[in-house]
Chain A
Amino acid sequence: MTSSSAPSRKALSKIACNRLQKEMVEWQVNPPAGFKHKVTDNLQRWVIEVSGAPGTLYANEIYQLQVDFPEHYPMEAPQVIFLPPAPLHPHIYSNGHICLDILYDSWSPAMTVSSVCISILSMLSSSTVKQRPADNDRYVKNCRNGRSPKETRWWFHDDKV
Chain B
Amino acid sequence: MATEEEEVAAEVEALQAVYGDDCLVLDSYPPHLHLHIMPRTADVTSEQFVEAVIAIRASSQYPKEPPQIELIDSKGLDDERKKLLMTCIRDKAVELSSCLMLVALCEEAVDKLSQMNHPDGDCPLCLYPLVQEDEQKKILRFMKLMSCFHCFHCECIIRWWDWLQTEQKSNPIDSLSSTVHSVRTNEKKKDGGAEDSIGNCPVCRKVFHTKDFEHVLDLVGSLPFQLSSAENEMEDSEKLRHSHQENIRRQRFEATFKLQQENCGLIEPKKEVRVLPGMFLPLPVTPPTSAETEESHEQQQEGDPPVASEMHTGASSQMPNTTEHRNRGMRKQRAQHNSRRPGKRWVRRENGSA
Q: Which residues of A contact B (CB under 8 A)?
A: 14-15, 18-19, 22-23, 26, 72, 74-75, 104-110, 112, 150-153
Contact = CB atoms under 8 A, between A and B. Distances in A.
Nearest to B200: A108
B291 interface: no
Given A105-B179, A105-B183, 17 more contacts: A14-B230, A14-B231, A15-B159, A18-B128, A19-B125, A22-B127, A22-B128, A26-B127, A75-B163, A108-B200, A108-B202, A110-B124, A110-B125, A110-B203, A112-B127, A151-B176, A152-B176
Contacts of B128: 18, 22
Contact of A75 (B124, B160, B178, B205): B160
Contacts, number: 44
Interface centre among A19, A109, A112, A150 (most CB of B within 10 A): A109
B176 A153 contact: yes
B331 to A, nearest CB: 25
A22 B176 CA distance: 30
Interface centre among A23, A74, A150, A152 (most CB of B within 10 A): A74
Interface centre among A23, A75, A104, A105 (most CB of B within 10 A): A75
Interface of B: 124-128, 159-160, 163, 176-180, 183, 200, 202-203, 205, 230-231
B176 A109 contact: no
A151 B180 contact: no
A51 B205 CA distance: 30
B230 A75 contact: no
A110 B202 contact: yes
Contacts of A22: 126-128
A72 B128 CA distance: 17
Interface of A is mostly: loop
Nearest to B177: A150
B257 to A, nearest CB: 37
Contacts of B231: 14
Contacts of B183: 105
B186 to A, nearest CB: 13
Contacts of A112: 127
A105 B183 CA distance: 10
B343 to A, nearest CB: 33
Contacts of A14: 230-231
Contacts of B179: 105, 107
Interface centre among A19, A110, A150 (most CB of B within 10 A): A110
Given A72-B163, A108-B202, A109-B160, A23 B127 contact: yes
A65 to B, nearest CB: 20
18 contacts: A14-B230, A14-B231, A15-B126, A19-B125, A22-B127, A72-B163, A75-B159, A105-B178, A105-B180, A106-B180, A107-B179, A108-B200, A108-B202, A108-B205, A109-B125, A110-B124, A112-B127, A150-B177
A108 B156 CA distance: 13
Given A14-B231, A109-B160, A110-B202, A74 B176 contact: no
Nearest to B162: A75
B207 to A, nearest CB: 13
A144 B200 CA distance: 35
